[in-house]
Structure 1
Amino acid sequence: MTAATAIPGLDRRPGGGRGLWLVLLVFLLALLGALSVAVGTRDVGLDDILAALHGRTDSIGQAAVAARIPRTVLAAVAGAALGLSGAVMQGVTRNPLADPGILGVNLGASLAVAVAVAWFGIASMQAYVWVAIGGAGATAAFVYAIGSLGRGGPTPLKLALAGMATSVALSSLVVAVMLSRGDVAGGLQAWQIGGVGGATFARLMPVLPFLGAGLAISLASARWLNALALGDDMAAGLGERVAVARGVSSAGAILLCGATTAVCGPIGFVGLVVPHLCRLLTGIDHRWLLPFSALGGACLLIASDIAGRLLARPAELDVGIVTALVGAPVFVGIVRRARVREL
């Protein structure tokens, strides 16, 4: 017996077919990418877009397009990473409330970067990535250890509560670090909101190897996550090494979350909202859910970035603010629907 046969309905195709939904999601991503390049504080025409794609920046419109292209790419990459990491974390913990933000992983990476900048003077993106991944990993281990205390082990409710308490504590520590260094507080405060503005390909390139490694590990963990969904005892009975499966899967999610936080700052709720929406299209099979979550995360973050530019025009709302406005009501709805006492 395998996980595919042990989980009822795992291979059942939702209405309309997963393949069709996948094609539509790819089309939506392409459409949003085009809108992100064309729409903003200054609308541009097709001529400016084509000229900018050929490297020309002779007019204001062409310069605007040239700035939006890396911004759109960063939003797509970061959204895919956050959506995928959220799906993996929910699978590893069997917790519908799991999310890099709710479990404190984003803020762990954020605190590590804030300390490194304020006290050790790091300034390169390569250093940011290593420090952020270290902070994310340490926080994930801490939250899991705290959530595992007491009778019943790491239940979804205990993990969620441990993550939220840790997030509050880490957020306070980040503020304390910024207050101690007024000369860097402004930059850290803007980064702490979470956004994709000011993106450049030079800024994105150092994180791509980490994101690629996290993507490969996470997608390769689909079979393990299907087995873990049955419970540790059943997964072990199917021949899976539960501790290895949970550790490797978590490592992929931590790489994705840490690298994204390093380049964008902490962006919340993408990893919570997207997997829940994708399950409506794919069912519970992680072989489909993980790639759908990556595409869905990219779509959500690009759409949030577009909304942030339009809602506050001619100014902008950082994408972290928009995702919080979208994600907070969804979080409340999930808690009410799941009846958190029974998690």
Structure 2
Amino acid sequence: MMTKRKGKLNFTTTLLVSVVLLLIALTVSILLGDAKIHITTIFDAVFNYDSKNQQHNIISEIRIPRDIGAILVGVALATSGAVIQGVTKNGLADPSLIGLNSGASFMLALTFALYPSAPFLVLMFAGFIGALLGGFIVLMIGKSRSDGFNPMRIILAGAAVSALLTALSQGVALLFRLNQSLTFWSAGGVSGTTWGQLIWAAPFIIISLVVLIIMSKQLTILNLGETLARGLGQNVAFTRGITLVLSMVLAGIAVAMVGQIAFVGLMVPHIVRYLVGTDYARVVPLTAVVGGLLMLVADTVARMLGEAPVGAIISFIGVPYFLYLVKRGGRFS
């Protein structure tokens, strides 16, 4: 009983600290930039907005949407990665490594070519369809009849399918002269995030996250093995299908917002499992917070470096971490 209480306190404390760090990072990110802003101006802009005040406009129309967008993208990518790793029992799984991001980018390229003035809702739907396409192909190739999802086969299939879909995206871009339009999505960045995008993206991300938290018990059991899950009366096909579709929704929305950003969904779940264990009732919510924190910090650093691609900032950490996981055989933390 004491051990259970200690574990629960550890999770609560870790989650609380993560939320506080996220709020601090959000405040710092709003303050930093070319325009010097005092912390009291933030509260004035939020609670006493004056459209004639230039600093209020910078805060409310540029910095806050950008930072909220970064947090939402981090939440989406990290949670998607945690779910995929749990369902496939593959510690190397990541939305960018199993075809979700490249599939979403391919469908976005087609959308730009066929519907140049497409609203963001259409781009979100296209991103989801593309992520569904890429993920379905990779998972079907990586699934073995005898032992379920084969981790090595999934990674190899992901690399091949991602390369194919990326090549197709580039082909569409060349054919329809979309290179300039797709540069932003290829590099990855949240500098152009608007309130209009957030109004559509936030509900889908939040609802998906809530459903995954509700299904966290089933995810934990499924992560222990299909045989045990069926023995406990769980509908394995339903749990796997719903959770994978939601992870693809999250990845598709993230790509529609900021483009292809790798390694967030790979690193964060491992860090979280190291801190609080493998119970998905703890992993999912903490992964969402830490993912948002990582993405926000990376975007702030990218902004201070003269609008460097945020995807490149994260890759500086993600690539060595990926190689470290490969050396360990992709085992869970």
Give the TM-score, by structure 1 length.
0.89
CA distance in 2, matches of 1:287, 1:65: 35
Q: CA deviation at 1:117?
A: 1.1
> Quick one: which amino acid aligns to residue 287 of structure 1?
A
Pair 1:328-2:315 in alignment: no
In structure 2, the residue matched to 1:100 is: 95
> Quick one: which amino acid aligns to residue 72 of structure 1?
D
Pair 1:195-2:189 in alignment: yes
Change (3 A) 1:59 1:300: same
Pair 1:117-2:112 in alignment: yes
In structure 2, the residue matched to 1:147 is: 142
Give the TM-score, by structure 2 length.
0.92
In structure 2, the residue matched to 1:73 is: 68
Q: CA deviation at 1:149?
A: 5.0
Q: CA deviation at 1:220?
A: 2.0
3-state SS in 2 of match to 1:103: coil
Pair 1:21-2:14 in alignment: yes
> Quick one: which amino acid aligns to residue 273 of structure 2?
R
Pair 1:87-2:86 in alignment: no
Greater mean alpha carbon deviation, residues 224-233 or residues 42-51: 42-51
2:32 to 30, 39, 64: 39
Q: CA deviation at 1:228?
A: 1.2
Greater mean alpha carbon deviation, residues 217-226 or residues 22-31: 217-226
Change (3 A) 1:49 1:57: farther
In the TM superposition, what whole-angstrom CA distance separates every residue of 1:53-75 from its partner, at most 9, and x where no partner exists? 23235455444323101111111
Pair 1:317-2:308 in alignment: yes
CA distance in 2, matches of 1:108, 1:202: 24
CA distance in 1, matches of 2:4, 2:159: 34
In the TM superposition, what whole-angstrom CA distance separates every residue of 1:73-121 from its partner, at most 9, and x where no partner exists? 1111111111111111111100001110111101101101111111343
Unaligned 5+ segments in structure 2 are: none
The alignment's C-alpha RMSD in Å is 2.2
Runs of 4+ in 1 over 6 A off after TM superposition: none
Pair 1:296-2:290 in alignment: yes
3-state SS in 1 of match to 2:288: helix
Change (3 A) 1:59 1:261: same
3-state SS in 2 of match to 1:316: coil
Contact 1:57/1:63 (CA < 8 Å) preserved in 2? Answer: yes
Pair 1:268-2:262 in alignment: yes
1:279 to 273, 281, 287: 273
CA distance in 1, matches of 2:161, 2:103: 9
In the TM superposition, what whole-angstrom CA distance separates every residue of 1:166-208 from its partner, at most 9, and x where no partner exists? 11111111111111122x3212121222111021111211223
CA distance in 2, matches of 1:261, 1:173: 16
Unaligned 5+ segments in structure 1 are: 1-9
> Quick one: which amino acid aligns to residue 38 of structure 2?
G
In the TM superposition, what whole-angstrom CA distance separates every residue of 1:9-45 from its partner, at most 9, and x where no partner exists? x968559711111110110010011011001233321
3-state SS in 2 of match to 1:99: coil
> Quick one: which amino acid aligns to residue 299 of structure 2?
D
Change (3 A) 1:280 1:266: same
Q: CA deviation at 1:262?
A: 1.3
Pair 1:206-2:200 in alignment: yes
